[in-house]
Amino acid sequence: MSRASTFCLAVLLAFLGVSGPSWAQGLQQAPVPIRVKQVDGKAVNGTISAWDASGCTGEFGRVEWANLKGADANRILRKLVNEKDAAQMLLLGRALLSTEDGQKLGETALREAARLDGQQKEALDAARAEGLEAGRKAAERRVRDALPQGRDGSTFESWPIATAEERTKALIDMKHDAEQALTGVRMRWTWVETDFWVVYADLNNREVRELGRRMDNMYRKVAEMMALPKDVNIFHGKGVCIVSGEERMFRAIEQALFGTMPLPGCIGICHMMGPKVMVNAYRDPDDDHFMATLVHEATHGVMHRYGTAAQLPLWAEEGYAEFVAARSFDSSPVDAGRRPQGEQFIRSGNATLPLFQSDGRDGNWPGDNAVGYAIGYLTVKLMIDQKGDTFGEWVKDIKTGMPWEQALLKHFHMTPQQMAQAVERYYADRTASTEAAP
């Protein structure tokens, strides 16, 4: 067996955890202290007693390199490896390539290994492939752990975590569908692809780029509220957003692409078609009203892809979308419009319970002047402002298939009737104590 082949075999055995040379079995020196935060925020403190290409162990348990930031993994591993040993530098490169942002550091380590032993192309390729695959699997696990999963017996199945290749194919299909429809209605469009969206619009390039930027900001805000890993895309491919500068074009697209006709005054609709999310909107001259509507509708799309297709009750689905729209940009008109409308409704002695209990088919939603949106907004705002983490857990349970009333009792310790009473007490007087809140 050649020297290079022997080296490659040793490296691959190390990857598989098979006993080999001393470097493949762990520490070469005295135990090394570790004090670091994993990417999920969990702290690790203690002393490393053993390590390998995948992670390290100690009294703290087992920590995978893939669950650390690249810079942190590099700092720790540089204390463990012999930097004059090509095999250990190869192992270092593999470990760093598995981390969330350690690709450059990993490639640097592989180049260092190559300089120490120039006859290791096969081993370099194997280390690179193993590291990247370990990183992909770790990222997938983090996403799955952060998303609610469909419960046994529930009609709502978890959305699958797509591979990069599957997302690319999904995006190609969605672009094709959108562009075919836009060609059919003779819309002359400009488009931009962002981290999470593809935006088509018959506006100038600057406006389209700005729309894309603001849509990404909205997505990141919702992702942060739902404790998703940073910059993870949960869309099927990406979300598609179509914006028309003329109302007639907005309506033509709605008819051609979705077979519907918007009600008078409607300037935006989110369509959830299986795993796909598409938002269609009219660029109303009132910039703030337009952006609030666009964010509201896009929020529906993000929530559709959050774990499962299970929906929140109507008041919370619309109320949360209004909440995100209110907090997405400084000049949002949502709070100034919804707050006084909802407070006036309550102070006039109207009951909120029929709105909370409505499924949209009983004639109670959204009420006169769409007051249900205002009540939903005020209720969600109260829940998040005072018990934000609890609200997130409530949403997760609903997305697993738990009835919202059962989840409300579990997390907020009240029935819908008690919640309605608490909301009415709180907003009946602007100076109400926060102790009355759910």
- The CATH number linked to 282 is 3.40.30.160
The answer to whether residue 14 scores a pLDDT higher than 80 is no
Query: What's the rounded mean pLDDT across residues 350-355?
Result: 96
The answer to whether residue 289 scores a pLDDT higher than 70 is yes
pLDDT band at 148 (very low <50, low <70, confident <90, very high): confident
Residue-number span of the structural domain to which 419 is assigned: 317-438
Q: Which of 91, 101, 97 is nearest to 132 (CA)?
A: 97
Say whether both 304 and 323 belong to one domain.
no
Compute how many other C-beta atoms are within 10 angstroms of the C-beta atom of residue 244: 25
Predicted confidence at residue 143, as pLDDT, reads 78
Percent of residues, the chain, with pLDDT higher than 90: 66
Say whether both 131 and 21 belong to one domain.
yes
CB distance 380 to 316 below 8 Å? yes
Query: What's the rounded mean pLDDT across residues 357-384?
Result: 94
pLDDT band at 164 (very low <50, low <70, confident <90, very high): confident
Predicted confidence at residue 145, as pLDDT, reads 79
Does 153 reside within a domain? no
Say whether both 68 and 189 belong to one domain.
no
Say whether both 182 and 140 belong to one domain.
no
Could you read off the pLDDT of 308-328 as tens digits, one per residue? 999 999 999 999 999 999 999
Does 273 reside within a domain? yes
Q: Measure the CA–CA gap between 197 and 278, rounded to whole angstroms.
A: 10
Does 427 reside within a domain? yes
Q: Measure the CA–CA gap between 214 and 211, rounded to whole angstroms.
A: 5
Q: Measure the CA–CA gap between 321 and 223, rounded to whole angstroms.
A: 13
The answer to whether residue 181 scores a pLDDT higher than 60 is yes
CB distance 438 to 383 below 8 Å? yes
Domain closes at, from 146, 174, 209: 146
Could you read off the pLDDT of 41-100 as tens digits, one per residue? 889 999 999 988 889 999 999 999 999 999 999 999 999 999 999 889 999 999 999 998
Query: What's the rounded mean pLDDT across residues 334-350?
Result: 96
Say whether both 240 and 118 belong to one domain.
no
Does 155 reside within a domain? no
Predicted confidence at residue 153, as pLDDT, reads 63
Does 421 reside within a domain? yes
Say whether both 81 and 207 belong to one domain.
no
Say whether both 107 and 190 belong to one domain.
no
Predicted confidence at residue 119, as pLDDT, reads 54
Structural domain total, the chain: 3
The arrangement of strands across the sheet holding 276-282 comes to 190-193, 197-201, 239-244, 276-282, 268-273
Structure tokens at 276: 């796909």
Mean pLDDT of the chain: 87
Does 264 reside within a domain? yes
Radius of gyration of the chain (CA): 27
Phi, psi of 55 (to 5 degrees): 175, -165
Query: What's the rounded mean pLDDT across residues 159-188?
Result: 90
Predicted confidence at residue 226, as pLDDT, reads 84
CB distance 375 to 359 below 8 Å? no
Predicted confidence at residue 21, as pLDDT, reads 38
Any idea what the CATH number is for the domain that residue 372 is in? 1.10.390
Predicted confidence at residue 92, as pLDDT, reads 94
The answer to whether residue 22 scores a pLDDT higher than 50 is no
Query: What's the rounded mean pLDDT across residues 393-419?
Result: 96
CB distance 209 to 253 below 8 Å? no
